[in-house]
Chain A
Amino acid sequence: MTELPGDLLYTDEHEWLRQEEDGSVTIGITDHAQAALGDLVYVELPDVGEEVDAGGEMAVVESVKAASDVYAPIAGEILEVNEDLADDPETINSDPYGDGWIVRMQPSDDLDEDALMTPDAYQQFLDELED
């Protein structure tokens, strides 16, 4: 198991968030999620400018064996989507916390950090899943 990046927040849907200096938030799926899905063959991205609700469907990641929704962990507006994933969805497999990011959002409210998991809390969550 690789070390979880310490500067990210995590959700129980296996997504990660990174707070950028300009107040926007970058979102992707965790290493655990990409490993569970297997080789990704397609990523369906939202439109830039789209407003999403917290918990709403934001993107679809599709592997040869499953197509799964990526839920928006927070409400906000989509500022940018990772267009490179259209041609290279497997980037999510190879670099889930870096080049495999999925969207960048402008949160409509201040980030409620209590509703999200720290790296330690997410690691514990993963450990409990394996038990």
Chain B
Amino acid sequence: MPFIPHTEKDTREMLDTIGVKSIADLFDEIPPELMIEHLEHVPEAQSEMEISRLMRRRAKMDGSPMCFIGAGAYEHHIPTAVWDIATRGEYYSAYTPYQAEASQGTLQTIYEYQTMITELTGLDVSNASLYDGASALAEAALMAVRSNRRVKSGRVLLAPGVNPVYQQVASAIAGAQGLSFERLPAVSATGNVDFDQLPKGRDPVAVVVQQPSFAGTLDDVDRLTDWAHAEGALLISIVNPISLAILKPPGQWGENGADIAIGEGQPLGVPLSSGGPYFGFMTCQQQHVRQMPGRIVGRTTDLDGKPGFALTLQAREQHIRRSKATSNICTNQGLMVTAATIYMSLLGYEGLVNVAHACHANTVALVNGLTAIKGVTRLYDGAFFHEAALRLDRPVAPLLKALAERDILGGFDLSAFAATDALLVCATETKTRADIDAYVAAFADVMAGSD
């Protein structure tokens, strides 16, 4: 729990010094009709003792099931050293410091992170991170509008494989700022974009492609990138950082590469931990750098000619440009980024490639095992990375419930999104052959039991 050392007297003195009666008065520029007294579904404050007890009880409910769910967040092995180093006192903060240049070690860590992420994505510049993958899409769309000023439509076209939750988040953040998000048509057999049905003359400001797609498939990103550019749009790519160890980086897509790459950074050394905190990453081509939100650390030399690190391009950030900043929700996830930097450093290029290959091989084995069961087929043809969608001959939810009773998280129920009984499964490098066999056997068993 945080320990806040201000006494009432301290607070009183501070308020008196700035000539304000109460803390509430500091917020009086917010119109009263916008103030909410009570938030629905948010319980009353609890004491430290009560909240500790509640959290211990909740933690126990998690148990330690075998997890075959991906769908945006992935279980990977995290070397113990990652969090051992990341939680050292020198690193243990969620923020870039306010006197940033006084903390050269922190800035160097972020600089190394930026370097690694640009290498993975094949683009020129990285920021110091964003909240998460979903909000990074909203930020990328807003950035595209600023950078592609010629296009006034505010229309963003999404490939069929874009995570539907990312679309919801992006609409919630950017919808009120004049942006609209529309889906491109899909080929039903593959789930990929239907090039024969692409809309003409929609004047999109940006086209968004997710590779691998939400359903795990691989799209023709080169062709989509070139199509987006021919339509006068920027190409925003959503990528999985682990997959970039073996897939073509967005910077090399098509003739001219993706303009902006974003994604969820969680697979890089951040535990699943019930959904967060995670971090979003964002890289772009040099020509768009002035519209990129968030902090950017640059390398420079000081007055004595010694190398050092400094925050750069700050003039467009909110503490200077206020409401006209490139973003007002661009704080970075410093601690998660520190862990990711250590994770990538420890694994190295070869390690990341090995992890990616192991994930793919395990998911191939899992899909082969499951599709040998009667009533289970692939939902989409074509290649996949470490996640695949399966069509089932019966409702998915009861099967997942039966598997959960055997301490197996069997996958993500895709039925609502795929408009058919479908299951999204994933087996990362954390799964052994025996784990996969055990899951396949359990799946066959609950299928037989529900016949």
The verdict on A63 contacting B149 (CB below 8 Å), with A42-B290, A44-B290, A69-B324 known, is: no
**Interface residue from A47, A64, A69 paired with B149 (Cβ < 8 Å):** A47
CB closest residue in chain B, given A42: B290
Chain A binding surface SS class? strand
Residues 305 to 346 of chain B near chain A (Cβ within 8 Å): 315-316, 320-321, 324
Contact A67 B321 (CB under 8 A): yes
A44–B149 Cα gap in the complex (Å)? 11
Contact A67 B149 (CB under 8 A): no
**Interface residue from A47, A63, A67, A69 paired with B150 (Cβ < 8 Å):** A47
A66–B324 Cα gap in the complex (Å)? 11
Contact B290 A65 (CB under 8 A): no
User: Is A62 at the interface (CB under 8 A from chain B)?
Assistant: yes
Residues 46 to 96 of chain A near chain B (Cβ within 8 Å): 47, 62-67, 69
Residues 1 to 54 of chain A near chain B (Cβ within 8 Å): 41-42, 44, 47
Contact A65 B320 (CB under 8 A): yes
Q: Which residues of B contact A62 (CB under 8 A)?
A: 290, 315-316
A94–B64 Cα gap in the complex (Å)? 67
Q: Which residues of A contact B320 (CB under 8 A)?
A: 65-67
Q: Which residues of A contact B290 (CB under 8 A)?
A: 42, 44, 62
Q: What's the nearest-Cβ distance from chain A to residue B277, in Å?
A: 30
Q: Which residues of A contact B316 (CB under 8 A)?
A: 62, 67
Contact B149 A65 (CB under 8 A): no
Q: Which residues of B contact A66 (CB under 8 A)?
A: 315, 320-321
A107–B315 Cα gap in the complex (Å)? 31
Q: What's the nearest-Cβ distance from chain B to residue A29, in Å?
A: 16
Residues 262 to 279 of chain B near chain A (Cβ within 8 Å): none
- Nearest first, the 7 closest Cβ-Cβ pairs linking A and B are A67-B315, A62-B315, A67-B316, A67-B321, A66-B315, A66-B320, A42-B290
Supplied contacts A42-B290, A67-B324, 13 more A-B pairs, CB within 8 Å: A44-B290, A47-B149, A47-B150, A63-B315, A64-B315, A65-B315, A66-B315, A66-B320, A66-B321, A67-B315, A67-B320, A67-B321, A69-B324
Q: Which residues of B contact A (CB under 8 A)?
A: 149-150, 290, 315-316, 320-321, 324
**12 CB-based A-B contacts, threshold 8 Å:** A41-B315, A42-B290, A47-B149, A47-B150, A62-B290, A62-B315, A62-B316, A65-B320, A66-B315, A66-B320, A67-B321, A67-B324
